Amino acid sequence: MAEINLLDCLPATTRDPKARAAAKTPEDRAVAKRFDRDFFDGERRHGYGGYRYDGRWLPVARRFVEHYGLGPNARILDVGAAKGFLMYDFLQVLPAATVRGIDVSAYARDHAHGGLAPLIDIGSADKLPYPDKSFDLVLSINSIHNLPLPGCKQALREIERVSRAHKFVTVDAWRTEEEHQRLLDWILTAETYMSVDDWHRLFAEVGYTGDCWWFIP
């Protein structure tokens, strides 16, 4: 496995963790964790504050395809697919690919971009409803850390199980105490977050062999 930032072509975002920490309440976190309209298209304190397609994931899709050498008929699974923006852009790059997504949010599935709702299953990352080795690439971006530790571990095992080739996850992490505090100020829905070194130990424990990168606000 490798640490590699395959999201480096996303637009730079300015974040203010201290302001977010001052504004959010336990009630805000509870609302956000429903992953319904409030999280995706409600107020900013509950999540995205409006999660709309703007094409920013298209360069990311190209980056994944090029990095992993995915062929035109590749099978790709997005774990935590939300409204399917990345799925849609994978299909712009590889129109003949088989692309599926899974997410806990029926709201996100029902409001999927580009008519992709039929390609998104409702379910949790720790119990993927797919056969062993059924995808060439399984990716999960800022999603599995929303599960408690036992579920997060099982999600990694499941990602490993259903992939026959490539795996990639991005999770909440830190390398320094300053980054740790910024993350604690920022998190809204995450249940499992730890240092980079601890993540590597967890990957080894569960047998995850894919690539990884970190969300550090």
Residue 185, helix vs strand vs coil: helix
Q: What pLDDT score was predicted for residue 22?
A: 87
Question: What is the arithmetic mean of pLDDT over 52-64?
Answer: 97
Task: Say how far apart CA 145 and CA 48 lie, in whole Å.
Answer: 17
| Half-sphere exposure of residue 55: CA atoms within 13 angstroms, side-chain side | 0
pLDDT class of 59 with cuts at 50, 70, 90: very high
pLDDT in tens, 135-147: 999 999 999 999 9
Q: Average pLDDT, stretch 44-67?
A: 96
Contact criterion met (CB below 8 Å) for 161 and 183: no
Burial class (CB within 10 angstroms; exposed 0-12, middle 13-18, buried 19+) of 79? buried
6, 64, 87, 209 from 95: Cα distances, Å: 21, 15, 11, 28
Q: For the chain, give the mean pLDDT.
A: 96
pLDDT at residue 7, as a whole number: 96
23: exposed, middle or buried (Cβ count in 10 Å: 0-12, 13-18, 19+): exposed
Q: Specify the pLDDT at position 23.
A: 84
Render pLDDT for 81-129 as a digit per residue (tens, 0 to 9).
999 999 999 999 999 999 999 999 999 999 999 999 999 999 999 999 9
* Domains of the chain and CATH, by start: 56-215 (3.40.50.150)
User: For the segment 18-54, what is each residue's pLDDT rounded down to a tens digit?
Assistant: 888 888 899 999 999 999 999 999 999 999 999 999 9
* pLDDT number for residue 214: 98
In this structure, are residues 115 and 137 in contact, taking their beta carbons and an 8 Å threshold? Answer: no
- Quickly state the pLDDT bin for 192 (edges 50, 70, 90): very high
Q: Is the dihedral of CA 38, 105, 35, 95 positive or negative?
A: negative
